[in-house]
């Protein structure tokens, strides 16, 4: 599914820039949907707020002259026609769903930067050889339905659609039912939509670009990421009458496991990271020794061998902590994403566009998972990072400057145009 790439000469410096004020205005308007008290956004996947955000994007895209296709996983494809209707589109995009206390830019920037590319091409009257598309991927965050990146994962053949539909949130609602409820369970089979090349613009979600005074990151790949569900079962007991030595405290065991996980990550530094991000304690009573704890584990490393070693170390830690005190353990790996490398030509298109626009890009490996990571297995893919204040993300105070966001979108515009080909 190769896209046209001969329309522009890479030796000719691209100088096109987006309308930064319009991009910022779109971001702020989208942020009002599910706005939180501290200035962030809460649009959990397939919630009413997510539906409202999707509806707004569709309206804006249609006003920009795009045709809309929705696939069976709710992924939205907004297409600006190219001269060659048979050519696979050069696409960009990300997601509109957020964490429960998410920020204004994670994911949504990549979607609206793609929309801004289309709007700017319209203003300039530029026709491309291949079509241009802006995409919204379903449930990237994984905050409501685990694992993350389900929409792009089914599209890339990583996840089974039936299993994705059956995934349930903490209230027992299934993803498939919620897709239908919000009106985004489309007709096109997921994965049938051709993509000639894919670019994703994103805030860095880390401190490196800001610390180095850089504006653009040319992302060459992403580290591996494994997610696990762990359950420890001990015995409920009276908090006042049960001596410490006779307890089978599942929460205490879980806390010790979390501490060991931090040590495992440090032992595989500086790139290894481990996170316990979700914990459920049963029976969750003030005066009862917890008899059962369920928690999530997130392990990441850019090297496959190191990630496997971290997993093995976690298994040993669970045995060493739980077995001596009679705590039963169950661990399930619910997703595994190998380290990936992005397409060299797409990376070079980002690098060349940044340099021509006056930026010296930093070559980077993404520490976070993104839809682009799954897309890389089915289409040539690249990513663009821009700074975020103090590297903070997944937080209501997440912040980025209008200037940096406009710069990243301008790099995106020129990289996509180089790949799509400018019609004569």
More confident site: 1 or 34:
34
What single-letter DSSP state applies at residue 166?
Answer: H
Tell me the domain boundaries of the chain.
Answer: 20-223+339-420, 224-337
Q: What is the pLDDT of residues 173-190, one digit of tens each?
A: 999 999 999 999 999 999
pLDDT, tens digit, for every residue of 137-147?
999 999 999 98
The residue to which tokens 């939509």 are assigned: 193
Separation of alpha carbons 302 and 311, rounded Å: 14
Structure tokens at 303: 């090297």
- Of residues 215 and 368, more confidence is placed in 215
Pair 389, 402: CB distance under 8 Å = no
Residue 156 to residue 369: CA distance in whole angstroms? 15
Is the predicted pLDDT of residue 10 greater than 60, yes or no?
no
Round to whole Å and give the CA distance between 308 and 407: 38
**Residue 391 and residue 204 in contact, taking contact as beta carbons nearer than 8 Å:** yes
pLDDT 10s digits, 308-356: 999 999 999 999 999 999 999 999 999 888 899 999 999 999 999 999 9
Q: Which of 379, 383, 274, 360 is nearest to 318 (CA)?
A: 274
Distance CA 31, CA 103 (A): 8
Q: How far is 58 from 178, CA to CA, in rounded Å? A: 19
Q: Is the dihedral of CA 54, 55, 56, 61 positive or negative?
A: positive
Average pLDDT over residues 214-224: 96
Give 424's pLDDT tier (boundaries 50, 70, 90). Answer: low
Distance CA 298, CA 335 (A): 10
Neighbours of 301 (CB within 10 A): 25
Q: Decide which of 171 and 369 is more confident.
A: 171
The sign of the CA dihedral 239, 245, 250, 251 is positive
Nearest-CA neighbor of 408 among 114, 144, 7?
114
112 pLDDT more than 60: yes
Contact call for residues 3 and 87 (beta carbons, < 8 A): yes
Please give the CATH topology (third level) of the domain spanning 224-337.
Answer: Alpha-Beta Plaits (3.30.70)
Tokens 């006056």 locate to 358
SS3 106: coil
Task: Say if CB 76 and CB 54 are below 8 A apart.
Answer: yes
Overall pTM > 0.85: no
**What's the chain's average pLDDT?**
95
Q: Mean pLDDT throughout 201-212?
A: 97
Condensed to tens digits (0 to 9), the pLDDT of residues 51-104 reads: 999 999 999 999 999 999 999 999 999 999 999 999 999 999 999 999 999 999
Superfamily of domain 20-223+339-420: Zn peptidases (3.40.630.10)
128 — pLDDT class (breaks 50, 70, 90): very high
Is there a shared CATH topology between the 20-223+339-420 domain and the 224-337 domain? no
């Amino acid at each position: 599914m190769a896209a046209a790439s001969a329309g522009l000469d890479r030796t000719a410096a691209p100088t096109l820039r987006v309308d930064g004020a319009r991009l910022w205005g779109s971001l702020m308007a989208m942020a009002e949907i599910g706005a939180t008290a501290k200035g962030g956004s809460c649009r959990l996947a397939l919630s009413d707020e997510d539906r409202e955000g999707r509806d707004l994007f569709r309206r804006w895209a249609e006003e920009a002259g795009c045709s809309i296709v929705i696939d069976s996983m709710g992924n939205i494809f907004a297409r600006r026609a190219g001269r060659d209707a048979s050519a696979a589109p050069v696409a960009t995009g990300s997601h509109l769903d957020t964490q429960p206390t998410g920020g204004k830019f994670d994911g949504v920037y990549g979607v609206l930067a793609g929309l801004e590319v289309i709007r700017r091409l319209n203003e300039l009257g530029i026709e491309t050889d291949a079509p241009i598309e802006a995409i919204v991927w379903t449930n990237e965050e994984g905050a409501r339905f685990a694992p993350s990146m389900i929409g792009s994962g089914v599209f890339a053949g990583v996840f089974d659609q039936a299993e994705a539909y059956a995934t349930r949130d903490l209230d027992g609602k299934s993803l498939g039912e919620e897709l239908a409820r919000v009106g985004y369970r489309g007709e096109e089979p997921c994965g049938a939509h051709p993509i000639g090349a894919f670019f994703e613009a994103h805030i860095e979600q880390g401190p490196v670009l800001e610390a180095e005074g850089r504006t653009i990151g040319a992302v060459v790949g992403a580290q591996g990421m494994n997610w696990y569900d762990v359950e420890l079962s001990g015995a409920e007991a009276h908090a006042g009458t049960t001596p410490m030595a006779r307890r089978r405290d599942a929460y205490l065991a879980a806390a010790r496991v979390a501490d060991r996980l931090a040590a495992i990550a440090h032992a595989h530094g500086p790139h290894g990271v481990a996170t316990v991000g979700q914990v459920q304690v049963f029976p969750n009573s003030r005066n009862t020794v917890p008899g059962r704890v369920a928690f999530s584990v997130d392990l990441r490393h850019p090297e496959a061998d190191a990630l496997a070693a971290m997993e093995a170390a976690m298994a040993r830690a669970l045995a060493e902590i739980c077995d001596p005190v009679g705590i039963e353990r169950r661990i399930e790996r619910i997703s595994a994403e190998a380290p990936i490398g992005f397409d060299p030509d797409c990376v070079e298109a980002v690098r060349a566009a940044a340099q021509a626009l006056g930026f010296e890009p930093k070559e980077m490996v993404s520490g976070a998972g993104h839809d682009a990571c799954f897309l890389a297995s089915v289409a040539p893919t690249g990513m663009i990072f821009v700074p975020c204040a103090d590297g903070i993300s997944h937080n209501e105070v997440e912040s980025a400057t209008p200037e940096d966001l406009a710069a990243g979108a301008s790099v995106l515009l020129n990289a996509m145009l180089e790949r799509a080909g400018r019609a004569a």
